[in-house]
Amino acid sequence: MAETLLAYIAGFLDGDGCIMAQLVKRSGYVHGYQIRVSIVFYQKEDRKHFLEWLKGHLKHGYVRVRNDQMAEYTIVGYQPVYEVLTKLLPYLQLKQVLAQKVIDLCVKGIGSSYQRITPQELLARATLVDETAKYNYSKKRTTTQATVKQFLQTHHLVPRND
């Protein structure tokens, strides 16, 4: 991809996009939680074609229209998020530190995506997720490293620190 196009997309992500790392409760998971990394670009529904154009260049993810007439282009998963963020990182301005932290999470996730991680490693990664939250403006965020730790302690997967 041309440098000017990468810079343009990075600017769009800086302004109308979001880079996220989340702790998601999963009942079927041994440790109860999954770490989800994602990149989301937003536009009004009538500009959905632009998000489709963007998807054509970045080659990952999906575009959907929400009930509030907003369209989202979402890229989810360690490998695709890593690939996109490493291309855009040199051109990001507002979200460069956040992008680097999510890249670091992706590197850890890619290396272990086919093997079960330990509860201690999940807690370490959950701490990294908490660090990324400082760069986003979420009013609804309730699941933190402490939530995961409480779950793991309750299920006797890590010792209690009484």
CATH number at residue 94: 3.10.28.10
Contact 144, 130 (CB under 8 A): yes
Catalytic choice (11, 16, 56, 77): 16
Position 160 in a domain: no
- The residues near 162 (Cβ < 8 Å, ≥ 6 apart) are none
> How many folded domains does the chain comprise?
1
Q: Say whether 15 is catalytic.
A: yes
Position 161 in a domain: no
Q: Say whether 61 is catalytic.
A: no
Handedness of CA 6, 12, 14, 18 (dihedral sign): negative
Contact 63, 52 (CB under 8 A): yes
Predicted TM-score of the model (pTM): 0.92
Position 143 in a domain: yes
What range does the domain containing 55 cover?
3-154
Spell out the per-residue pLDDT of the chain, length 162, in tens: 899 999 999 999 999 999 999 999 998 888 999 999 999 999 999 999 999 999 999 999 999 999 999 999 999 999 999 999 999 999 999 999 999 999 999 999 887 655 678 999 999 999 999 999 989 877 788 899 999 999 999 988 888 875
Position 141 in a domain: yes
Position 159 in a domain: no
Rounded CA-CA distance 126/130 in Å is 6
Q: What is the dihedral of CA 71, 77, 80, 84, to 10 degrees?
A: 60
The token duo for 157 is: 């997967």
Position 23 in a domain: yes
Catalytic choice (11, 15, 61, 77): 15
β-strand pairing of 62-65 with 17-25 = unpaired
Position 96 in a domain: yes
Q: What is the DSSP string of 55-97?
A: HHHH---EEEE-TTSEEEEEEESHHHHHHHHHHHGGG-STTHH
Rounded CA-CA distance 131/125 in Å is 10
